[in-house]
Structure 1
């Protein structure tokens, strides 16, 4: 039996509340949060995910949560949790893994497997989670480069940065920032096999991505960290169980003809639940101002943006809809609730999780709903947040 490290701050979440979980580097915790109307409060914190907890993958029907630990300050790992009704987490297993796991997705029959992208170790790996108290490695493949890419400081080796299940559940796409590729894997039951990758724009550094299915078409979009662009592809499902990606466009993540300040790094990409919008976050811009979260302080504070685009269902083109405040600096990760009516943003440089309203029809973010302090210390605060949905 695993020894858990949990700090409980409240006895129980109200039955009408919405639960969220956020990871933060600087206090090494997974924080349980309770959203009740316009109040976001901390319920408990778990220390079981290791030194640098990052990506969270939820299996809602089974009340399971998987947390990746990048392992900068120790051994990298995957922790499986049982999610409790009061928002707290009970650790089931902790498995040491290769360094820097940064993203994961469930796949296969009954979602019994976890696919993981490793950034520093240039590896795609898979694990059986059929028994979440006994996670086990089932396969991996590690990549190399013959020579550095166009940005030799960031593209000296492959850097796998995301793992995305396609809408059919038959394929996994993995953007590789170092190799300018979308690596592709075909799922065969619990197993997978590598299939020919899609070529990304040279020097773009694809970071995160998402599939959208509209009007009988399937599109794939990436946000690219090195070029600060968004790229669109038309996806074709081939008879030989492979995928073809046709490049549609590549332009600024602020829209065609847009630009960003020096030092900007594109971050997260989400597809809205209705598949009608692509939503991005951008770090290091400090291009917007918002009201201070301290009601006694009238000084405005800087914010990076969350940027929304409407998808043309026939050709996959994007139309800029809105550039809205993310709620502070360095929105490394954000997610939408299942209805698409709320956006939760993790502000890594401000030790803050912020929730905004979102209009499903227009795709625009609206009023502030609630916020909470998450993380302790300078920088490297919350980096990812998800709803319990």
Structure 2
């Protein structure tokens, strides 16, 4: 492992790496660090850390075309913030740090030339947009904060609105925010200049489901939206149609277990992340708290299998939006809070928050099936609360 390096020193190191090497970024709560990792065949190595993202770095949003990375700091142990970085060959140089409300948990770029950043706030019940036209001068644009008249069906988790994700729709004209506390999909229309958004009529989710993360998928002229629900451990699918006057219309298609229709999960399970594959043919979700699978020990001299939570893959029927269970595969350890796919869909980077580990898993893009763990690295120092997000630099 290489210690903290200057961007110039890291750039020299990365340029000297094999041409086949890939760069990943990962965040870790317990050592308050943003990691840079280098993947070369079966080797995943930590090459640098940045401590500019604050006390609890979490979600990462990458503008690859501009070589800019945005890191959210939830701020439970300090002041919350958004940090922007210049990425040069994977080397990180801090551009700006903007103090924000506590608990930013997810973000997405939007607007012409990606000049806006929409951010979901869990604990402070807010949806806020920022100008990132100049990544070295981050600026607040618009803030919407919500209240509940009364607690929801799961009162200990639905006492207030909890905005958990910000998602740009395929047209680039609308944003969706999943509200775990209010059981809503909040819909926003983006102005032509992306300087403000207008809230439209929200979509009511299944009561007590707790929408957490979501993603759109397109098939020909059809558009679908899928969200994973943390409280009910279900996945909900919608067909989406567009009317220029009233915005997108969501029609619920199904709501079933994260393990497929009729599936069940152990008590204490909490659904986490959901992504749609780059080819728009598969939905993959992570489920925490199951420990229902095992993986070989990473110590070659130890034959004791290790527990693993699952990554669950579904095939999308492009004609109907229906999902068919394709596979329940190991996520590489316990508490897979966040994961991502590379652009080719051949690799999955999984962040195991309770195991202080990031793993890279092989994937067959044709079948959507996950294979073996091809590489892994220790990320995070200290027990628990380790890596919670991993992202390919592409």
TM-score (norm 1): 0.97
Residue 88 of structure 1: CA displacement? 2.4
2: distance between equivalents of 1:331 and 1:82?
27
1:108 aligns with 2:111: yes
Residue 12 of structure 1 pairs with residue 13 of structure 2: yes
- Give, in angstroms, the shift of residue 7 of structure 1: 4.2
- What aligned pairs does 1:254-269 form with structure 2 within 5 A after superposition? 254-269=259-274
Does residue 51 of structure 1 match 2:55?
A: yes
Q: CA deviation at 1:318?
A: 0.5
Contact in 2 for aligned 1:272/1:279 (Cα 8 Å): yes
CA distance in 2, matches of 1:347, 1:44: 19
The gaps in structure 1 that reach 5 residues or longer are none
Report the Cα distance in structure 1 between the residues aligned to 2:224 and 2:336, rounded to whole angstroms: 25
Q: Secondary structure at the match of 2:113?
A: helix
Cα-to-partner distance string for 1:272-324 (whole Å, 9 max, x where unaligned)? 00110010000000000110011111100000000000011111111000000
For the aligned residue pairs, the C-alpha RMSD in angstroms reads 1.2
1:31 equivalent in alignment to 2:35:
yes
The alignment covers a number of residue pairs equal to: 384
The structural deviation recorded for 1:242 is: 1.2
Alignment of 1:343-382 (within 5 A): 343-382=348-387
2-structure distance, mates of 1:239, 1:18:
42
Query: For 1:232 and 1:332, how far apart are their aligned partners in 2?
Result: 21
Number of the residue aligned with 1:89: 92
**Unmatched 5+ residue regions in structure 2?**
none
Q: In structure 1, what is the Cα distance between the partners aligned to 2:293 and 2:261?
A: 20
Report the Cα distance in structure 1 between the residues aligned to 2:235 and 2:336, rounded to whole angstroms.
17
2-side partners of 1:279 and 1:255: how far apart? 12
Structure 1 CA distance, aligned partners of 2:134 and 2:282?
36
- SS for the counterpart of 2:25 is strand
1:1-389 map, 5 Å: 6-7=4-5, 12-13=13-14, 14=17, 15-85=19-89, 87-188=90-191, 189-190=193-194, 191-389=196-394
Offset at 1:17?
1.1
1:239 deviation in Å?
2.4
- Measure how far apart 1:84 and its partner are: 2.1
Q: Distance in 1 between matches of 2:197 and 2:244?
A: 17
State the alpha-carbon separation in 2 of the partners of residues 249 and 132 from structure 1: 40
SS class of match (2:140): strand
Task: Give the structure-2-normalised TM-score.
Answer: 0.96
SS state at 1:353 partner: strand
State whether residues 277 and 310 of structure 1, in contact with CA within 8 Å, keep that contact through their aligned partners in structure 2: yes
- Take 2:66 and 2:239, find their aligned partners in 1: how far apart are those partners? 34
The answer to whether the 8 Å contact 1:6/1:47 transfers is no
